[in-house]
Structure 1
Amino acid sequence: MVISLLERFPGLRSMRAFTAAGRHMSFSKAAQELGVTPAAISHQIKEIEDQLGVTVFNRTSRSMALTREGEILLTACSESLEMLGRAIKRIKRLENRNQLKVSASPSLAAKWLVPRLDRFLEIAPGADVRIDVTHVPVDFDRDDVDVAIRFGDGNYPGLDSVLLFQDKVFPVCSPSIITKERPLKSPRDLLKFKLIHLDWEGHGAAWPNWKMWMAAAGIADFDDKSGLHFQQTSFAVQAAIDGMGVALGDSNLVADDLARGRLVKPFELALRAPPQFAYHILSAPNQAANPLVTLFRDWCLKEALTSNSKRDSNTEKPL
């Protein structure tokens, strides 16, 4: 019975017309979306109803609504079209093996990944690399992404996950703000400067902040509310580069700025981030045989080791 019904189902064009009409609850808007006439939409809907022997819309002169049968069919058609769309994207990607779409969080993309991409292109000169900047959870079944770098605890069920790096946090500032009148010789000298805060927490823990660092340095009498407050590392670091104050920098994300003299590290004391906070390289299991994904992952791991080796050794205190 089911097979005979499927054999009678009109096809993709009618599915698209019905799905658009059901989404807009309007033949006119569906026609505008698909670039056809409202009469064509009406014809496609009528074809579905005739073939299946059910009514999918209750229509009056002023309104329209899905019937119960129409609601069931709309859900099925929407899911089917989405699955077909994802399959077509995968097929297109197979045709272009040189394309690599990478999803990364804004701060990591700005301060670590993008400044290094020229080195990746040196070992993959024909690669078409596209960067998707977002911090939302990646869904490889739905998103047009080959590999992602995410910040978290490493628990990503169903995905291949490799630890990229975990950060240490220490004060950084522009060398231009350190003067004879306002030196930075001891942690207490920080009280003379505007502090740049990063307010972020997740996975049941808080990101290392000034209150934690000052406590590790033996200083309790300071105002942890005044100053500049950000929720993304890249903004806090840029404010420090611009001479707006002293920030707590993530070791890997400020490595290039330290190496180029845009920032200096006035004190060696550093805090290790909790294990819940680390960057991981993620890919779907079906990408294991993709040589470009493997090359990119191995390159990232090598770059992370290079960044770590360039950093000065720190006197660390765990949180």
Structure 2
Amino acid sequence: MSRRLPPLNGLRAFEAAARYLSFTKAAEELHVTPAAVSQQIKTLEAYVGTPLFRRLTRALRLTEAGQAALPALQEGLDKLAEADRILRGHHDDRVLTVSVAPSFGAKWLVPRLEGFRRAYPDYDVRIDATDRRADFYEDNVDVALRYGRGHYPGLAVECLLAEAAIPVCSPVLLDGDHPLRAPRDLRHHTLLHVQWQTESDAAPSWRMWLRAAGVEDVLDADRGPRFSLESMAVQSAIDGHGVALVSGALVADDLAAGRLVRPFPKADDEATAFRYYVVYPAAYLQRPKVAAFRDWVMKEAAGPGGPTPADV
């Protein structure tokens, strides 16, 4: 079916001028002159056969027709921009861009990526290590791994790993003058804190864990060094500098290798409302590289190398 479409330049000029109610500001955004914006809108008005603006002495106002058409036009331009980003995103189907939080990327994803490369040698993975929310279109991100509540409007969201915060330390702290045998023994050791990116009462903290373990009055839960990256707290724990409260998924490999231990395996771990998620625009699953990575990473999380909720 053929479409009868107004001149695109006129639509862009009208939408920008309607947002600002100013030809001058619209011209600045579009990198043209105010006279050019005015002429493009006049051409559009002639095409549709009705005025879109009331041009006052010191002001610009939308007519009833302009007000009625603006929301649909903005939606249409958004769709055009999205189509443009999708088309540009297909410029190299061999490159798979994964956005992941730095600590989770370094400690969980990167050690497993060789398995993806062996399974899918035609794809080259690019890791975008960041804690900020991914802009799939502007940054050409294909898929993201995120830690949170799973609320990402407009995107497909799948739970990758159920999560809990667990205390971990070097095996050397199980011996010595003050061996770690029970949560009460933490009063003799340094607590290593992670400044969790998310601001919520449900985010894991030593105060929450100690309360759940029934020893909140034994020591000051706020004392000890703080790290902006969880992987730094993990490394400090590996080095024997204290006990870190970190995500079980993040330290699964260190626990398996014996670099870290769980000093209180029978203590109740402080479960949180947060999980690790695979996040992507639903339409992207039609891309073979995104479908391949999604299937692979879900199997990694569910397999022997990936902890289950019971493990963490």
1-structure distance, mates of 2:84, 2:181: 61
Is contact 1:135–1:150 with CA below 8 Å preserved after alignment? no
2:247 to 227, 239, 250: 250
Q: Which residue of 2 aligns with 1:20?
A: 16
Pairwise CA distance, 1:266: 3.6
1-structure distance, mates of 2:193, 2:14: 52
Structure 2 portions without partners, runs of 5+: none
Pairwise CA distance, 1:214: 3.6
For residue 227 of structure 1, what is the amino acid of its counterpart? R
The C-alpha deviation readout for 1:91-111, integer Å capped at 9, x for no partner, is 344553324343445653454
What pairs with 1:1-319 in structure 2 (closer than 5 Å)? 7=4, 10-94=6-90, 96-105=92-101, 107-131=103-127, 133-134=130-131, 136=133, 145-151=141-147, 162-173=158-169, 180=176, 183-197=179-193, 206-211=202-207, 213-214=209-210, 217=213, 219-223=215-219, 225-227=221-223, 235-242=229-236, 245-258=242-255, 263-269=260-266, 271=268, 274=271, 276-283=273-280, 286-304=283-301, 305-308=303-306
* Percent identity (aligned): 42
The C-alpha deviation readout for 1:134-161, integer Å capped at 9, x for no partner, is 565x898999654343446679899765
TM-score using structure 1 length? 0.71
TM-score using structure 2 length? 0.72
Is contact 2:163–2:275 with CA below 8 Å preserved after alignment? yes
| 1:55–1:166 Cα change, 3 Å | same
Is contact 1:148–1:283 with CA below 8 Å preserved after alignment? yes
SS at match of 1:14: helix
1-structure distance, mates of 2:242, 2:276: 27
For residue 85 of structure 1, what is the amino acid of its counterpart? A
1-structure distance, mates of 2:194, 2:263: 19
1-structure distance, mates of 2:197, 2:38: 52
2-structure distance, mates of 1:226, 1:272: 19
For residue 294 of structure 1, what is the amino acid of its counterpart? A
Q: Which 10-residue stretch deviates more, 63-72 or 266-275?
A: 266-275
Aligned residues: 304
2-structure distance, mates of 1:10, 1:155: 38
Is contact 1:258–1:264 with CA below 8 Å preserved after alignment? yes
The C-alpha deviation readout for 1:277-301, integer Å capped at 9, x for no partner, is 3323345554454322232123213
SS at match of 1:167: strand
